Structure formats: C-alpha cells, structure tokens
Chain A
Amino acid sequence: MNKSIHLTIDGKPVEAKHGQTIMQAADAAGIYIPRLCSHPDLRPIGSCRVCTVIVDGRPQAACVKPAMDGMVIENDTPELLQHRRNIIDMMFVEGNHFCMFCEKSGNCELQAMAYRFGITAPQYPFQFPEKAVDASHPDIMLDHNRCIMCARCVRASQELDGKNVFQAIGRGFHRKIGVDGEKALADTDMAVGDRSADVCPVGCIIKKRIGFRTAIGRRLYDRQPIGSDIEANATP
C-alpha cells in the first residue's frame, strides 16, 4: 500500500501519494489544471467540469478522480482547452456577469479564468435570465445574477461552519442556490464570519460595507494570472 503512485501528465512523470486526487498530485508537481468549483478546504464535487482531463482515453474530473498507478493523463491539449473554454463561455452566458461594475472584479476566479483562456467575449448568445438579489442580511449580499452553481457555499456551511445555510433548489437551467430560511438570507443563521461567506469564486456572496477597499488594478488576479501560484511549484 505504501508504494508510491507513478503517473504521467502530458508525458511528464508525476509522483502521487495514496489518497490524492489527480488534481492534488498535479498541484504538488506544479502542473495547473484549471478549476472553478474546487476549493482546497472543501470536499470536491466535480460540478463545473473545467478540470476535466483525459485519463487513459476517458474524460474525468481531476478534482474527484483518485490518482492511480500507471495513469496516462492528458491536460494541456488543444481539444481539452477548447472544451474548457466552451464551458467557461457557458457560465458567462447563463448568468448576468457585468465585470465593469462588479465588486469582485480582479478577485473573481471566473473573470481570471476567462483572461487565462484569452476570452474577450463569449461565443454563445447571452441568455439574460431574470435572477434575484437578496440584500436582506445585515452584513451579506447574495446576488444570484453572478452565481455559477459551484456549491462552494453549500459545502463550506456544512463542512466548515457546522451549519446548513445553503442548498441547491430547482433543476436544470432553473437550478439555484436556496437558503435555509422562510424567505431570505436574513432568516437563516448565517453570520458574516462564516467561512461560507469567504469561498465564493465570483461576486455572488458579497460582504457589505467593505467594497472596493482594495482598488481595482491592485487585486489578486490583476497582479498575476490565476494558477500561477501552482505553476510556481514546478521543477524545471
């Protein structure tokens, strides 16, 4: 059991530990596999599919698939990059994402991913769905226009906060994040110090009264592309 696992990613040999997912093994080796729903502190669920890699010929989400000895993995191929780009485009057109006046701009993982993929405008027609804004909570705002259904908040509330503030409701294109209260977020036991308030990759969960404290242009992904922290682990 303690024998280490050897696999290759785009031909590069990678060593993994038992119990690691493909993504964890790749991260440690300095190979960045793009991802949106995955978060290091949360149980992976494979919902955004951006981290899809080809494992021995079959598509698999790298965030959930355990690394196994002898796996031959493709990550950085023109075919996969195109599929991933298509998925990112889909997220932009299924919601209402207006980066120019979003507080999350510069810290937004979806926006940063678009920059990394060189997306200037989505190739699909905007759907312009009608979505609600829930500003009922004294300290937190929920803007469903920007939600990408990654369910990080659902998991963080359950796994890190010991609560159950969020859960998916509805299905298909009408699926959305519901809250554990009569009407709105204010009716739940959500507190601004909860980890679920911190993990949103986009501008859906926003804390009130601290907007624009860091000027746009000086934010995380204004300084470096998403994934570059992981790529810094790479051995030459």
Chain B
Amino acid sequence: MSKSKSVVTEICNRYGNTRVRLMDIVRDVQQELGHVPREAFDLIAKGAHTHRVEVESVISFYAFLSERKKGDVVIRLCDDIIDRYQGGEAVAEALTRALGIGFNETTSDGRVTLEKTPSIGMSDQAPAMMVNDVMVTRLTPELIPGLVAKLRQTNDPQSLVESYGDGNNAHALIRSMVCNNIRESGAVILADYKRERGLRKALTETPADVIADVKASGLRGRGGAGFLTGLKWELTRESPGAEKFVLCNADEGEPGTFKDRVLLTERADLMIEGMTIAGYATGAETGIIYLRGEYAYLRPYLEDVLNRRRAGKLLGNGILGNAEFHFDVRIQMGAGAYICGEETSLISSCEGTRGDPSDRTPFPVAKGYLVSPTAVNNVETYCCAARIMDQGAGWFAAIGTQRSTGTKLLSVCGDCARPGIYEVPFGTTLREVLRRAGAENTAAVQVGGPSGQMVGPAQFDQGISYEELATGGSMMVFSNDRDILEIVEAFMEFFVKESCGYCVPCRVGNVLLKSRIERIRQGDGAPADLAYLKKLGESVKRMSRCGLGQTSPNPILTSLKNFQPVYNALVREDKTGLQKSFHIMRAVEEASVIAGRRSEVFHA
C-alpha cells in the first residue's frame, strides 16, 4: 500500500489535484497499479478534492477501469457480431485453451486476464483483440497458441506485432499491424490536399464569414445526427460565456465503424486544422479530442502531431502570426463506454465524472463543457470543415445531394470481399456500395450500426444520405447464410451492456426486449410476442432520455418491419392453448433442489 500511496499522490499532483481531471487520474492509477484498489479510493478522493463515492462512481462506470486486480496483461477479444461471424468464437475457444482460463479470469501466475469487449474499431480486419493497448488483428484459432507462447515469453504485447500496417500505422510512434484498408478515396477527405491552406484562408476572414462559409456549404454533422455545423458554430459563438470550447468526438464506438480510426491515423493534421478553424470561428481557445480508450495506441502519435503543430505556430499563442488568435488542444482519453459518444456524456466524461448524459436544454452550444458554450463535432466533420475553407463552400455544396452535401466515409464490413473505407458522394445507392465492396448474396445491411436500421434488398436502391439511409459510417453486411435474429439479439445484448442506467426505459426496457428476442429464438415465442416487442420498443424509444435509448430498439423495430417473415416463421400459436414459454419442469427445479427431492406430481 505504501508504494501505491506514493503513486496515487504523484498522479493527483500531475493533474493539478482537480476534480475535473478525475478520469485521467484514475486511468493513470489503473495503468500504474493494474487496477484501482478500494484502499486507494480515499486517497484519490483527497487528492482530487472530491468524495470517495464519486471515485467509486467513476471507476464502476467505465469498462477499462477496475477495482479488482487484473493480470499484467489484459487480453480483450472483440465480441462484436462481425467478429463472431468471421471466426471469433473459435478464436475465443483457442484463447481459453492456450491460457487455461475462461473469460473474466486471470491466470494463476497473475500475468494474463482474459475478457471480451464490444466493437474495438477493427471490423474490417476481424476477428481482432486488444492486448493491453496493442491491437492484434486478423486472428485465427491456429495463430493463438503461438501468440500466447510469445506473450508468456516476452511479457510484452508489442512483441505480438510482427509486421506493420500501411501508411502511418508503421510510424515510429504507432508501430501497429492495423491496416487502413482505404478502398476508395473521394474528393473531400481522402484526396490529396495542401496542408493548412484552409486555416490560412480562414484567418484572412472574420469569424462571422467563416461561419457563413460553413453554413453555405451545407455541412452537417458526420457522427450521424446531421445537425448543421455552421449553425452549431454560430450558436456557440453567440451564446454568452467568458470561455468557449471546441470538442472533437473521437469516441467512435458504434459497432462496425472504423473510419475515424483511419482519419486519426492518416488525417490527424487535417482534423486538428478543422478544430483550429472552429476555435477561430467560435471564439474558443481550448479544444479537446475525446479519444476512445480502444484507440490508446494512437495517442503517442497524436500527442506528437499536437507538439509539432505547436512548434510550427499552428497551435498555441498567436497562431500563424495572428496576434489575436490563441488555441490549443488536449487529448482526453475515454475508458470503454459506448455512451460517451453521445455529446452530453462525452462532456461529462471530459469533466471527470461518469459518462451519464444530461438533458439537452440547455444544449452544449449554450452550456456544455464546464457550463460554457461548447461545439462538439465528429472527427470527419472537422476534416470537411478544413477542406471547405480551402476549396470553398460552393465546391463542397456541388457534391452529394441537395440536403446532404459533400462526401461520406463509409466503414464497410462483414460479408463482402473488400471490407474497408469508401469515401462516396452522398446519394450513392446502397446497391452501388455493395457492388464496390464485393458483397454477394446479401440478405441484410445494418446501416448506421445497431442504433441505425436493418434493411433488406427492397431498400438497396436508396441512397446514402440524411434523407434516405442515414449513417455515421457503419455499414455491416450480412449474407443469406446469417441468422437475422441472432444479429438482432447480439445488438440488444450490446445495448443492455452499454446503457448507463440513468433513466428507467433504457435501463429496464432493453433487458426486457432482449429476453423476449431470446424466447422467440428458442422457439417459445407466440404471435402476441411481436406486438409486445413493438409496444415495448416504442415506449423505450419515445420515453428514453438520450440517443442511446431513443435508438436501442431499432434493431428489433426495423427488422420487424423489413424482415417480418423471419419472425413469423418462429412464432406459432400453440394449438393446445398452453403458453409455450412456460416450462413446468424448469419452474419447479429450484424448489426441488431446496426440498431435496423431485416433484411427485411433475416427475410422474
């Protein structure tokens, strides 16, 4: 305890002993000690000027923080449905065999802990796992014994990386086997561009003119919600507040999406250029990149990019010789919570609390980070903004459709020959995307991830756009061989695990929805269950507090709409009039154990 005592004190000092940096404090304690022991709660509370229960509240919220001691190495196998369908279950079995432990267990020598985790942003090279912060992709059961032996021998996760991926994945500060898989570049984001030209042009204009340009371009938020970026910046600028903030949402947690991973790797400068332009336009002097815990392997590289920009007068005081304009950026690490991609949760997390969302009135543009006006935008949105300032609003608005201007990055994964990144103009049909990705015998596409919609061939001629098929980027392709309800159940399991539990409909409703899907899959469903799912799903959607609960029933509601025959085939009225889901033997099982004998009536 004396060692951990000095470690904790040093870490608290490192972050200025402030409550707002509690996330960083507990993350660093976890990193140093392998867990955040209960005995340290009081010390952390004292060091961060808060209460013990607040520390426990934060630690118990994030999946990557733990009060239980874990192994020196934590293996987190991605448990997404995409990974499962690419052979993830066999990999899971190979891992338990090679390590001699089950999931959520630690080897007896205390060296390795084995866990499962939701989508880690590697769906284009699934199955994949995180070994501490190191990404190991394209796994097969055959590879596992060798990997585990190597890990035992070196105790160093980095030793598992034998060759580096393309582009910056091979950069000295990344050294990752992750591949970009950029299949098609478009005119806006992945095209060659002249660095800092957008920023230089912006600085020759007034902030109001920059906002007018972004508005004229028609740019809408690329995270999926589609709010007009220029308007968001204008509201942030006009809201009263001594300080303003620009936040970048790099918490790419929607299963199936990985386009921000590629942008953070290959377009970090463009993204920060966009943030800087946003700082100039809104009057903010501080920016924060909220980086999902899974992408910690990119952090040293991103810190280096920030340092380089500071040295080049692109960040800091008096940017590019403009004595009036100061702007700098810090990185806030997440710790494994999907909900933190919701902008108010993201703000809570940046403020060092659990990632509970808040009610939107007031909106973050009026009262966001530290109760100050805050513009939260997606990684891709900032990239677009920098390009708009460079090439002009008219150029951007001419691409795409009238209500969805520009291009969209799609993360295509699942049953297709060429999974990866596609930059397409808005309006491109889903059928065209599938053709380019080499998807054949496609039964369903989950557009926009689990919170989006599951569509079938009847919708394939619709375009990717805010008005037809809206997506933050995730495009999961499922072939005819897949079980639609297995996919739906996996998505509901995801939402049950990721719900923050703040409001009743999301906390309870998703559990009830999932168990009814299970019942139907087991063959115990009745036609009345479909009406039950619709009504319950509608209540969860309408009554939940934030975007998570307002979209979590979508896998069920959209598959009921587009794949009704799948459900119909599974639910049948029982001719005997008995309730199929009620099993008398199961019901009396517990009582039999207590009584120490079998039921004379029902075992007869």
Contacts and interface: CB of A to CB of B under 8 A. Distances in A.
B504 A90 contact: yes
A78 interface: no
Interface in B482-509: 496-505, 507-509
A101 interface: no
B354 A168 contact: yes
Nearest to B543: A49
Contacts of B501: 149, 168, 170-175
Contacts of A59: 542-543
Contacts of B61: 169-171
Contacts of A165: 53
A167 B54 contact: yes
B360 to A, nearest CB: 10
A147 B545 CA distance: 19
Interface residues of A, number: 44
A164 B54 contact: yes
Interface residues of B, number: 38
Interface stretch (A136-144, A176-184, A198-206, A223-231): A176-184
B505 A87 contact: yes
B51 A180 contact: yes
Nearest to A52: B543
A30 interface: no
B496 A91 contact: no
A64 interface: yes
A81 to B, nearest CB: 11
B361 A66 contact: yes
A148 B359 CA distance: 19
Contacts, number: 129
A145 B342 CA distance: 30
A32 interface: no
- Most chain-A CB neighbours within 10 Å: which of B61, B501, B515? B501
Contacts of B60: 169-171, 178
A135 B356 CA distance: 29
Question: What does DSSP make chain B's interface, helix, strand, loop or mixed?
Answer: helix
B512 A179 contact: no
Interface string A65-104: 1100000000000000011101100110110000000000
B69 to A, nearest CB: 18
Contact of A172 (B54, B500, B515, B535): B500
A173 B545 contact: no
A217 to B, nearest CB: 29
Contacts of B54: 164, 167
Interface string B457-478: 0000000000000000000000
Given A47-B502, A167-B51, A172 B507 contact: yes
A86 B507 CA distance: 13
Contacts of B496: 172-173
Given A90-B509, A167-B54, A178-B56, 11 more contacts: A47-B504, A49-B505, A87-B543, A90-B505, A91-B504, A91-B508, A125-B515, A127-B511, A167-B57, A168-B354, A173-B511
18 contacts: A48-B504, A49-B503, A49-B543, A52-B543, A65-B361, A82-B539, A83-B539, A87-B504, A90-B504, A90-B509, A94-B507, A164-B51, A167-B57, A168-B502, A169-B60, A171-B60, A173-B508, A181-B52
Interface of B: 38, 51-54, 56-57, 60-61, 337, 354, 356, 359, 361, 496-505, 507-509, 511-512, 515, 535-536, 538-539, 542-545
